[in-house]
């Protein structure tokens, strides 16, 4: 019997979407445009199969101005539809695992992990207790990497749902035709929708987008994942997940991340918190209305009867009160948003809402209605424990210098001197003395500058929020204990009675190297150690450290600092939670989360982890229900395994080699990025870095400092620019040379041993493979050939492309296989997409060249075409920043 092609359905979906898109283009843009697009597609495919690409370049060069946008849109739309088909296929494959009773559990699932842990000798009670106490928190951030407009995302979601409907084998011919017509309408509607934002979203817009992500999938996916945890526990241990346990939580930075974003103000933060409370009340109200309609039973226990009296429908009677109070809560939040006050009884604390729900749950169990008790009621109770009345605890992030400037204005006004001029010891003595001083620190008549007034107003706003509405207070660019103590003093001085936990963020290579010493000094302070009550959180920055030192050096620094921070906390008897500030791209710490968590240093996960989910990765991981369920389970299982069965500690010879590689990488990386005078002109000329600023991606500026150069450029546009022209430089620069040197010196066997036996090193090489498979020296050469004029810049391009080839060759030498040989599905996905991305690269280069010649004058058609090419390439590579 012939082996069934498990990916045939994916190809069928892509073919169907491509045909419908072609029909749409033929009808909407005309036969001539369709024929030109088909000609370009055929030539691009031929070029990828080794034929001369000059014919493709010639056809692209002859495109009239009226053809540029339709051609760019055609290829961009196809790549987005290929993404939808792939996402749907992942859900389809997951369902196939679950439907096949003979298939082994899917890798990374709890059904695969828990029995494996038990076989390894882990006690069932310990598995249950660890899962019950687990704390995996995903933090949604509004980093500007989601290039697709929300209106198109909704259409894409519909297309995915229609593909799912078409999978049903028992559709009648009429039903199938109806679904195909729905699909056709969605594709036509998308073709007539502007895919480019023309207005930057505000921080409030970004927060609303985050709320939409909760409502669309996570509101359902979180309790369903907890139900799966409970099912697996019961099946393999006979134990249950307690109803109050929340191993999975969701938090947000949207509306709280003011680091370098002047658009996030105290007023914005307060508005976002109120909007979140409104949305939480609205979602819970829907749940309660549905539950009340279901619970028509008469039998109830004495406790419930005592509460509602002799009512014929006791559950509905109690839920009537709950419904009314949730309506009040929603109306109260809406009134506050309008600047009005509404004096009605509302829910202020989660416990108030949980009490009647738990009373109902107990009554149902007492009356032998377990099947009903374990239904939607359990989901609602778990949602309240996870999301609560705040929906998303809001983290606040601010740069350390802003707090220091606020303290400085206070000390100067009080005649105490310039805080900014004091050394670290002086600062700590002053801050600790004030923290233990009962008199007010901030004078009522302090003539604060606008920046300091905003900092103080932010703390006063936070002081007025319920504790459940707030997450962590993150200090970016933290370098010293005084950075943390300054925030604690400002919290106290502004009336924060239940202050947010303070989380220093260590970002650059030097900051990471000094992080353990900073934490050691902090925990040596008796007052501070008592204040944190045995728990501390530290955030590790992946983006800026990689931009500062290169991917390999930054990764090794992140590994070592986790070990060091864990040891410091262990000695002081403090539980450490590590907050990983990962981005979407490999060079910003992205990649498969499951593998990343399992490659952390042994003992550093310890039952708790926080991870940022940024930009387009929120849609990619959680935009479809099946994918949301899979990714939530992967985070849970990886954290459980890293806690109970961590990887063995690396051998000293491996550590020595990694140190050598890191030191050599950072030297090579900085030699090019910092020291080569050709580098900045090359970067600015050959990448669309300047053009990216035209995209209305996010509310935050692309630079921390408007007047700064490349060094002030944020990590996201830095990576985005290199991705667009396929050089992918931040991910491999320095790494290839350092690895090649070790191979040349006869240490290949040691590198291969590390590859086989050290999960951290294997993960690094896997991530390198993924990004290098998307890199393309030929595409980069095209950008250089048409955009570079100076011979010295051309020579740098040749050197960089030579370095890219060296990086590919050395990885293949270590693995003994071609790139992505172990992940053939990804390899094929990239190969299939390349012919559709190539025309967009050619268009982008031509549009960049024309627009640069026009200068400030600009041209709307050319600009639109350029923006579409940027979005299309991002879709084709499934990556921006």
Model confidence at 303, in pLDDT bands (50, 70, 90)? very high
The pLDDT tens digits of the residues spanning 334-345 come to 999 999 999 999
Q: How many residues are given for the chain?
A: 881
Secondary element (H or E) of residue 71: helix 65-99
C-beta separation of 535 from 489 below 8 A: no
Candidates 547, 580, 594, 841; catalytic one: 547
**CA distances for 247 relative to 136, 242, 622, 640, 745, angstroms:** 6, 10, 17, 10, 48
322's tokens: 């709950």
In this prediction, residue 779 has a pLDDT band, given cuts at 50, 70 and 90, of very high
* pLDDT higher than 60, residue 217: yes
Residue 623 per-residue DSSP state: S
The secondary structure of 703-764 as a DSSP string is BSSTT--GGGB-HHHHHHHHHHTT--HHHHTTHHHHHHHHHHTT-HHHHHHHHHH-HHHHHH
pLDDT at position 588 is: 46
Top-confidence residue, 487 or 95: 487
Q: What is the pLDDT of residue 695?
A: 62
List pLDDT tens digits, range 94-114.
888 777 777 788 889 999 999
Rounded to whole angstroms, the Cα distance separating 391 from 384 reads 9
pLDDT for 763 beyond 60: yes
Give the CA dihedral 264, 269, 270, 272, nearest 10 degrees: 110
CB 722 within 8 A of CB 687: yes
- Looking at the predicted structure, is the pLDDT value of residue 5 above 80? no
Interior angle at CA 769, CA 764 and CA 774, nearest 5: 135
Q: Say how many C-beta atoms besides its own lie within 10 A of residue 4's C-beta.
A: 6
Residue 551's nearest CA partner among 693, 391, 726, 669 is 669
What pLDDT was estimated at residue 705? 47
Q: Where residue 711 falls among pLDDT bands split at 50, 70, 90?
A: low
Q: Tokens standing for 293?
A: 């309609």
Name all domains of the chain by residue range, CATH numbers in brackets. Answer: 8-134+147-197 (no CATH), 267-390 (1.20.1440.90), 394-577 (3.20.20), 652-822 (no CATH)
User: What is the percent of the chain where pLDDT is above 70?
Assistant: 94
% of the chain with per-residue pLDDT over 90: 73
Catalytic: which of 36, 77, 89, 143?
Answer: 143
Query: Helix, strand or coil for residue 208?
Result: helix
Query: For residue 879, what pLDDT is reported?
Result: 59
143 noted as active-site residue: yes
Cβ neighbours, 10 Å, residue 481: 24
Query: What CA–CA distance (Å, rounded) separates 95 from 88?
Result: 11
Spatial contact of 544 and 715, defined as CB atoms under 8 Å apart: yes
Sign of CA dihedral 10, 13, 17, 20: positive
662 in Cβ contact with 734 (< 8 Å): no
By the 8 A CB rule, do 371 and 329 touch?
no
Q: What angle separates helix 777-787 from helix 791-815, to the nearest 10 degrees?
A: 180
Q: 422-451: per-residue pLDDT in tens?
A: 999 999 999 999 999 988 899 989 999 999
Q: pLDDT at residue 259 above 90?
A: no
Question: Does residue 707 carry a pLDDT above 50?
Answer: no
Among 650, 662, 813, 666, residue whose Cα is nearest residue 747: 813
What is the band of 304 on the pLDDT scale with cuts at 50, 70, 90?
very high
Which pLDDT value is given to residue 881? 43
For residue 547, indicate whether it is catalytic: yes
Q: What are the residues whose beta carbons fall under 8 Å from the beta carbon of 105, sequence distance 6 or more?
A: 97, 111, 112
Average the pLDDT over 798-819 and give the result: 95
pLDDT band at 51 (very low <50, low <70, confident <90, very high): confident
H helix and E strand count, the chain: 39, 8
Cβ atoms within 10 Å of 705's Cβ, excluding its own: 11
Confidence of residue 232 (pLDDT cuts 50, 70, 90): very high
SS3 for 517? Answer: helix
Within the chain, what is the greatest distance between any pair of CA atoms? 91
Give residue-wise pLDDT tens across range 560-618: 999 999 999 999 999 999 999 875 544 444 456 788 888 899 999 999 999 998 877 88
pLDDT value, residue 580: 92
pLDDT for 583 equals 58
Per-residue model confidence (pLDDT) at position 587: 45
Q: Which of 176-190, 510-524, 856-870 has the lowest mean pLDDT?
A: 856-870
Task: Give the tens place of pLDDT for each residue, 729-738.
Answer: 988 999 999 9
DSSP 640-671: HHHHHSPPPPPPHHHHHHHHHHHHHHHHHHHH
| pLDDT, position 544 | 78
Find the mean pLDDT for residues 209-219: 92
> Is residue 269 over pLDDT 80?
yes
Q: How confident is the model at residue 1 (pLDDT cuts 50, 70, 90)?
A: very low
Contact in structure between 537 and 471 (CB atoms under 8 Å): no
Phi, psi for 251 (deg, rounded to 5): -130, -175
The three-class DSSP label of residue 874 is helix
DSSP-assigned beta bridge partners for residue 257: 397
Q: Which two tokens stand for residue 212?
A: 């939409």
Alpha-carbon distances, residue 275 vs 232, 339, 612, 614, 818 (angstroms) = 36, 13, 21, 21, 51
Residue with tokens 């190809």: 11
pLDDT for residue 151 is more than 80: no
pLDDT in tens, 8-27: 888 999 999 999 999 999 99
Question: What DSSP string runs through 255-308?
Answer: TTB-TT-TT--HHHHHHHHHHHHHHHHHHHHHHHHHHHHH-------HHHHHHH
The region of weakest confidence among 47-61, 499-513, 692-706, 808-822 is 692-706
755 with 761: CB under 8 angstroms?
yes
| Mean pLDDT estimate for the chain | 91
pTM, two decimals, is 0.91
DSSP for 345-412, please give it: ----SHHHHHHHHHHHHHHHHHTT-HHHHTTHHHHHHHHHHHTGGGSSPEEEEEEHHHHHHHHHHHHH
Of all helices (H) and strands (E), which one includes residue 398? strand 394-399
What pLDDT score does 714 carry? 56
Separation CA 660–CA 774 (nearest Å): 27
Residue 700 has pLDDT above 80, yes or no: no
Q: For 825-842, write each residue's pLDDT tens digit.
A: 888 888 888 999 999 999
DSSP H or E run through 504 = strand 501-506
């Amino acid at each position: 019997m012939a082996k069934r092609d498990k990916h045939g359905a994916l190809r069928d979906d892509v073919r169907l979407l491509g045909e419908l898109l072609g029909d749409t283009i033929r009808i909407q843009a005309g036969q001539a445009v369709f024929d030109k697009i088909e000609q370009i597609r055929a030539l691009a495919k031929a070029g990828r199969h080794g034929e001369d690409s000059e014919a493709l370049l010639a056809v692209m060069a002859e495109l009239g101005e009226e053809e540029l946008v339709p051609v760019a849109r055609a290829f961009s739309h196809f790549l987005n539809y290929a993404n939808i088909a792939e996402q749907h296929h992942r859900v389809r494959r997951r369902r196939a695992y679950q439907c096949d009773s003979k298939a082994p559990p899917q890798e990374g699932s709890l059904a695969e992990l828990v029995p494996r842990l038990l076989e390894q000798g882990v006690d069932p009670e310990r598995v249950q207790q660890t899962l019950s106490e687990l704390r995996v928190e995903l933090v949604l951030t509004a980093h500007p990497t989601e290039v697709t407009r929300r209106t198109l995302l909704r259409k894409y979601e519909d297309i995915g749902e229609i593909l799912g409907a078409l999978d049903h084998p028992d559709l009648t011919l009429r039903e199938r035709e109806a679904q195909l017509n729905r699909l056709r309408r969605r594709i036509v509607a998308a073709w007539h929708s502007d895919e480019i934002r023309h207005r930057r979203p505000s921080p409030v817009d970004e927060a609303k987008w985050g709320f939409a992500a909760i409502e669309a999938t996570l509101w359902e996916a979180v309790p369903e994942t907890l139900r799966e945890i409970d099912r697996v526990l019961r099946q393999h241990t006979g134990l249950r997940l307690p109803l109050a346990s929340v191993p999975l939580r969701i938090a947000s930075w949207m509306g709280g991340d003011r680091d370098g974003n002047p658009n996030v103000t105290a007023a914005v933060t307060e508005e976002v918190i109120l909007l979140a409370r409104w949305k939480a009340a609205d979602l819970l109200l829907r749940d309660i209305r549905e539950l009340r309609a279901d619970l028509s039973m008469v039998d109830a226990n004495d406790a419930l009867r005592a509460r509602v009296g002799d009512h014929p429908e006791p559950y509905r009677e109690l839920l009537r009160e709950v419904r009314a109070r949730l309506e009040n809560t929603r109306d109260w939040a809406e009134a506050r948003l309008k600047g009005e006050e509404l004096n009605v009884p509302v829910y202020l604390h989660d416990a108030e809402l949980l009490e009647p729900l738990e009373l109902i749950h107990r009554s149902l169990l007492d009356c032998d209605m377990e099947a009903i008790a374990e239904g939607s009621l359990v989901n609602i109770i778990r949602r309240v424990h996870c999301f609560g009345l705040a929906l998303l605890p809001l983290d606040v992030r601010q740069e350390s210098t802003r707090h220091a400037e606020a303290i400085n204005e206070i000390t100067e006004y009080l005649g105490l001197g310039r805080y900014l001029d004091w050394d670290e010891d002086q600062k700590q003595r002053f801050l600790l003395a004030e923290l233990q001083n009962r008199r007010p620190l901030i004078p009522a008549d302090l003539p604060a500058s606008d920046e300091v007034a905003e900092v103080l107003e932010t703390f006063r706003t936070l002081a007025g929020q319920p504790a459940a509405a707030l997450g962590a207070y993150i200090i970016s660019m933290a370098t010293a204990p005084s950075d943390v103590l300054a925030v604690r003093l400002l919290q106290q001085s502004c009336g924060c009675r239940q202050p947010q936990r303070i989380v220093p963020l260590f970002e650059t290579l030097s900051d990471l190297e000094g992080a353990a010493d900073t934490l050691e000094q902090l925990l040596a302070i008796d007052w501070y150690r008592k204040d944190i009550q045995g728990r501390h959180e530290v955030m590790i920055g992946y983006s800026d450290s990689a931009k500062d030192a290169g991917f390999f050096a930054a990764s090794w620094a992140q590994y070592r600092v986790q070990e060091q921070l864990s040891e410091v906390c262990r000695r002081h008897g403090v539980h450490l939670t590590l907050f990983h500030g990962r981005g979407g791209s490999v060079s910003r710490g992205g990649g498969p989360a499951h593998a990343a968590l399992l490659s952390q240093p042994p003992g550093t996960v310890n039952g708790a982890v926080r991870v940022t989910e940024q930009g387009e990765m929120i849609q990619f991981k959680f935009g479809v229900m099946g994918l949301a369920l899979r990714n939530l389970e992967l985070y849970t299982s990886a954290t459980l395994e890293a806690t109970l069965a961590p990887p063995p500690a690396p051998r000293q010879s491996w550590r020595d080699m990694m140190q050598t590689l890191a030191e050599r990488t950072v030297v090579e990386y900085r030699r090019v990025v910092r020291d080569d005078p050709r580098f900045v002109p090359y970067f600015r000329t050959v990448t669309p870095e300047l053009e990216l600023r035209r995209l209305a991606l996010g509310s935050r500026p692309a630079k921390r400092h408007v007047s700064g150069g490349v060094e002030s450029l944020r990590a996201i546009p830095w990576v985005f620019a290199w991705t667009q022209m396929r050089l992918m430089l931040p991910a491999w620069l320095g790494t290839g040379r350092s690895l090649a040197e070790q191979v040349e010196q006869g240490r290949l066997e040691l590198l291969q041993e590390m590859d086989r036996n050290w999960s951290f090193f294997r993960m690094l090489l896997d991530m390198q493979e993924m990004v290098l498979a998307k890199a393309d020296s030929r595409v980069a050469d095209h950008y250089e050939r048409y955009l570079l004029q100076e011979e010295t810049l051309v020579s740098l391009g040749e050197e960089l492309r030579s370095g890219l080839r060296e990086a590919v060759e050395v990885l293949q030498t270590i693995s003994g296989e071609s790139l992505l040989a172990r992940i053939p599905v990804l390899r094929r996905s990239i190969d299939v997409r390349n012919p559709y991305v190539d025309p967009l690269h050619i268009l982008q280069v031509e549009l960049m060249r024309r627009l640069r010649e026009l200068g400030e004058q600009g041209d709307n058609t050319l600009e639109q075409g350029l923006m579409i090419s940027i979005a299309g390439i991002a879709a084709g590579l499934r990556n921006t920043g």
